[in-house]
């Protein structure tokens, strides 16, 4: 099975060290040195379902590897944003926010695609069929979004006033 990852890297102090594992077996280990978009392609010959894809960030020292200004704003960091994960033909973009990052201190960070702490971002594939799993994620996302209401939107924008436009 081919697995492709698109990561947007912040490379303060040389860039983040990462491991990519599937079902506990390491398929990539290295430092992401190039700032900006990086693509990693993995061939996982023993891809079995259910399974777990783990993106592990390690070796970061927060005091040394995060550059902040006098107001506490982060100027540069040793971390990365997960932009896309493609497993076979299944692309995860918005679905990325459904998974959690668990830091090495066991703090769970939900609804994020940014991996800026040492820890593990786990994509849990809890189905025996990859397409069924992907479809269930998309269905969940669709149901989680609030139904668009034009009347409510118009009232919020116009605040009860009317607006006519001549063309």
SS (H, E, C) 101-127: EEECCCCEECCCCEECCCEEEEEEECC
Torsion sign over Cα 74, 97, 84, 28: positive
CATH topology (fold) of 2-158: Lipoxygenase-1 (2.60.60)
Per-residue pLDDT tens over the stretch 44-64: 999 999 999 999 999 999 899
**Can you give the length of the chain in residues?**
167
Domain boundaries, the chain: 2-158
Provide the whole-model pTM.
Answer: 0.83
pLDDT tens by residue, the chain, 167 residues: 999 999 999 999 999 999 999 999 999 999 999 999 999 999 999 999 999 999 999 999 989 999 999 998 989 999 999 999 999 999 999 999 999 999 999 999 999 999 999 999 999 999 999 999 999 999 888 776 666 677 777 777 777 777 776 76
């Amino acid at each position: 099975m081919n697995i492709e990852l698109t990561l947007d890297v912040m490379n303060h102090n040389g860039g983040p060290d990462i491991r990519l594992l599937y079902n506990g077996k390491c398929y990539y280990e290295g430092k992401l040195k190039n700032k900006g978009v990086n693509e990693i392609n993995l061939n996982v010959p023993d891809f079995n379902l259910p399974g777990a894809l783990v993106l592990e960030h390690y070796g970061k020292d927060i005091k040394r590897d995060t550059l902040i200004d006098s107001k506490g704003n982060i100027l540069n960091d040793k971390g990365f944003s997960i932009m896309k994960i493609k497993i076979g033909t299944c692309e995860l973009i918005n679905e990325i926010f459904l998974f959690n990052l668990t830091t090495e201190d066991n703090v769970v960070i939900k609804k994020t695609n940014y991996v800026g702490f040492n820890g593990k971002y786990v994509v849990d594939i809890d189905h025996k069929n990859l397409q069924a799993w992907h479809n269930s994620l998309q269905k969940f996302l669709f149901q989680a979004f609030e139904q668009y209401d034009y009347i409510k939107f118009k009232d919020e924008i116009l605040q009860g006033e009317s607006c006519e436009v001549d063309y």
